[in-house]
Amino acid sequence: MTIERRLSGIVLAAGAGSRMGRPKALMRDGAGNPWVQSAVELLRGAGCDDVTVVLGAAAAEARGLVPAGALVVEVPDWATGQAASLRAGLAAVVARGGEAAAADARGEAAPAAPAPAPADARGEAAPAAPAPDAVLITLVDLPELPVSVAQRVVDGGLGPGILRQAVFGGRPGHPVLIGRDHWPALLAQLAAPSEADRGARPYLVAHGVTAVECADLSPGDDVDTP
């Protein structure tokens, strides 16, 4: 019997882009395409059934650049660090349908994490969805990243226990694939003040993330300056 797997995507696009001079969620490439559009298309190209975009700085303006069909979560404490954005995005995915599954997988109660209600770019509430088996996470400041990188990370298989990360010449990068078995513990760790600026990296290292080498496909560099 074939088991149908579901995959959700998260784009982290909340930062102020201080070195860039403006929020990265507002940036466009040389052809005029919004970076946030490229990030959503990357995740969709890798097979994501739904994509949530996490906005913070200039959220009202950035919302207008989010492609149709993608969901939007605004995180009020985005300035505290990447952990707040990741926590908000993951909590929104959980709230849409994965909460019970995430708790059951660990044999514990679902974490009490802030879960901003996901909505589409027009601000309409997102409908409930079946619980995904995993989430694929990328950053908005990777406009040159080819979809082949995301596909390679996902091609290793989907499942609730999966933990995979693209690396470039051994350097950790994005996307990152995190199965739902990991969500409760990761959400709890992201809520710790000491993790505010470190994102998921400590959790990935501690839990033996599988590195997926992608240097033959892309350098994997993010864009921090104009």
SS3 content of the chain, % helix, strand, coil (to 5): 35, 20, 45
Task: Give the pLDDT mean for 120-141.
Answer: 77
In this model, does residue 107 exceed pLDDT 60?
no
Give me the number of domains the chain comprises. 1
Inter-residue contact 19 to 59 (CB < 8 Å): no
Q: What angle do CA 215, 219, 224 make, to 5 degrees?
A: 150
Backbone angles phi, psi at 188, to 5 degrees: -65, -40
- Show the tokens assigned to 224: 């921090």
Structure confidence by residue, pLDDT tens digits, 206-225: 999 999 999 999 999 988 75
Q: Is residue 222 part of a domain?
A: no
What is the pTM assigned to this prediction? 0.86
Mean pLDDT (the chain) is 86
Q: Is residue 162 part of a domain?
A: yes
CB neighbour list of residue 69: distance below 8 Å, 6 or more residues apart: 51, 120
Q: Is residue 88 part of a domain?
A: yes
Q: Is residue 220 part of a domain?
A: no
Q: Is residue 1 part of a domain?
A: no
**Spatial separation of the C-alpha atoms in residues 151 and 141, rounded to whole Å:** 18
| Radius of gyration from C-alpha coordinates of the chain | 16
- Show the tokens assigned to 114: 């802030």
* pLDDT score at 128: 59
Q: How many residues does the chain have?
A: 226
Domain limits at 200? 7-213
Q: Is residue 38 part of a domain?
A: yes
Q: Is residue 225 part of a domain?
A: no
CATH number at residue 44: 3.90.550.10
Structure confidence by residue, pLDDT tens digits, 78-101: 888 889 999 999 999 998 864 444
In this model, does residue 164 exceed pLDDT 60?
yes
With a pLDDT cut of 70, the percent of the chain lying above it is 82
* pLDDT score at 82: 86
Structure confidence by residue, pLDDT tens digits, 51-61: 999 999 999 99
Structure confidence by residue, pLDDT tens digits, 175-199: 999 999 999 999 999 988 776 677 8
Task: Give the pLDDT mean for 45-74.
Answer: 96
Helix, strand or coil for residue 122? coil
Q: Is residue 223 part of a domain?
A: no
